[in-house]
Amino acid sequence: MKTRKIVITGGPGTGKTSVIEALEHHGYFCFHEVSREIIREAQKKGIDQLFLKDPLLFSEMLLEGRIRQHKDAEKMTTDLVFLDRGVPDVVAYMNYFGNDYPPVFNRVCREYLYEKVFILPPWKQIYTEDNERYESYEQAVEIHDELARSYAFHGYDAIEVPQGTVAERTSFILDHLG
């Protein structure tokens, strides 16, 4: 049985983590966002925002983490695995910030594929900033647009998850997976 890898993506503060947690509550295996772990580790070393200090290093670390998650998902014996963000997210963020990156970034987007991508749109009423999220709501909207472009560029038809309760959004995703 091949494990279907399903990406949950969207700009900052769109409710991805809440949806991932709800999917876990329903018994699904979920890989969590690797950037928060990288940010916390850098902060322990005195680097407040590694992405701002060394965007390429940060993005390379993200790429490695997301590739590792993809490979780990391949080894799973379950039908579905959810991932909080996918490989094309790295390219989207690099494009958004206007940072240069090597061609390998786009190449791995074509190598490590997902069965479906769900994108959560910006939602001002639930948006909050925290220790790892420094973008304004307006920036979150622009990042969402860049994510949509990145996934489309890499051949995905991302399914937009409508606003609603966490339970409604989770049901929407599960209903679209058959």
Sign of the alpha-carbon torsion through 105, 106, 111, 114: positive
Mapping DSSP to helix (H, G, I), strand (E, B) and coil, where does residue 106 land? helix
At residue 133, the pLDDT reads: 57
Q: Give pLDDT < 50 ranges for the chain.
A: none
Segment 105-131, tens digit of pLDDT? 999 999 999 999 999 998 888 767 665
- CATH value at residue 47: 3.40.50.300
At residue 156, the pLDDT reads: 97
Residue of 4, 9, 5, 6 lying closest to 160 (CA atoms)? 9
Beta-bridged to residue 8, according to DSSP, are 84, 118
Domain ranges, residue 85: 4-175
| Predicted structure pTM score | 0.90
At residue 70, the pLDDT reads: 96
Residue of 66, 125, 165 lying closest to 173 (CA atoms)? 165
At residue 50, the pLDDT reads: 66
The whole-angstrom separation of Cα 41 and Cα 35 is 10
Backbone angles phi, psi at 167, to 5 degrees: -60, -40
Cβ-based burial of 40 (10 A; exposed 0-12, middle 13-18, buried ≥19)? exposed
Segment 32-57, tens digit of pLDDT? 988 878 877 777 787 677 676 778 87
Sign of the alpha-carbon torsion through 9, 82, 29, 107: negative
At residue 129, the pLDDT reads: 65
At residue 134, the pLDDT reads: 67
The count of structural domains within the chain is 1
